Amino acid sequence: MPATRSTRSALLSLCVSAAFLLAACSAPPASPPAPPPSPGALVDLSHAYDAHTLFWPTAERFTLKPVSDGVTPGGYYYAANWFSMEEHGGTHIDAPRHFAAGGWTVDDIPLDRLRGPAAVVDVSAQAKENADYQVTTEDLQAWEKAHGQFPEGALVLLRTGFSTRWPDAATYLGTADRGAAAVANLHFPGLHPDAARWLVENRQVHAVGIDTASIDFGQSTAFQSHRTLFAANIPAFENLTQLDQLPPTGATVLALPMKIGGGSGAPLRAVGILPATP
């Protein structure tokens, strides 16, 4: 018997359904290839500059004054500011010229000295017990015993844990007082001069950083660690933060200062690049 129009429609619908069913049951298309390993996460190792930024008790603080902030006569929004500060405050670099006549100024420092493998030496337990703690040669050698020799070109970062106290001057610096008399009341950890000398004489590091206000501890009056490092043109990064977010080894640090011609120091934007993950 000839198929009626309704019968033909039913058969067509059945065939279409069967085709969709077969397609659904067939093997799925091959997955796209996995992307190549991406660089690791970035860790900001710098404090922001603002009204709370800490400076040496004798230094002028950071100032930001608005020049323009609003809609112009032309009908568009425009903002600009004026700022002033001393070189050595907030997260900053100490160029070797800071304590070494003839040493590199900020603009002299080769870029390859500002990038390298991070070696994070954790002395936070010692610093918690003693605000005047000085990182020793033995601390550096203990790190090497656990992780191998500091690689050539390493940026040695001393983690005291003091960055968690920022921006409370009383606990971070040891005093909230200002002026020359307050300098005698500074208490925070630093690098022992003997350890600085050991690094200079035995390793080829490119920079040393710390999460306190100075490479020398707060009670220093001779600044011997500065002088030892800078005589060898090894710059220092001071007032770093978030060093606890970096592994002891495996990360890379890029620390770029404002390029001040003839500067003995400058604001620093330091970034940690964690090891790549698969």
pLDDT band at residue 36, thresholds of 50, 70 and 90?
A: very low
Element (H, E) at 97: none
pLDDT tens readout for residues 254-275: 999 999 999 999 999 999 999 9
pLDDT (tens digit, 9 = 90+) per residue, 54-77? Answer: 999 999 999 999 999 999 999 999
Pick the CATH number of 42-52+86-273 from 1.10.10.10, 3.30.70.3420, 3.90.1720.10, 3.50.30.50: 3.50.30.50
Between helices 224-231 and 193-202, what is the axis angle to 10°?
10
Give the percent of the chain with pLDDT over 90. 85
- Residues 162 and 166: their CA atoms lie apart, in Å, by 7
pLDDT score recorded for residue 9: 47
DSSP 227-254: HHHHHTT--EEES---GGGS-SSS-EEE
pLDDT of residue 44: 98
Distance CA 148, CA 169 (A): 36
Percent of the chain with pLDDT over 70: 86
For 17-23, what is the mean pLDDT? 42
The one-letter amino acid code at 177 reads D
Give the pLDDT score at 39: 58
State how far the Cα of 183 lies from the Cα of 167, in Å rounded to an integer.
17
How many residues comprise the chain?
278
* Residue 139 Rama label (left phi>0; alpha psi -120 to 50; beta): alpha
In this prediction, residue 32 carries a pLDDT of 58
Find the mean pLDDT for residues 2-27: 43
**pTM score, two decimals?**
0.85
**For position 74, what pLDDT does the model report?**
97
Residue 13 has pLDDT above 70, yes or no: no
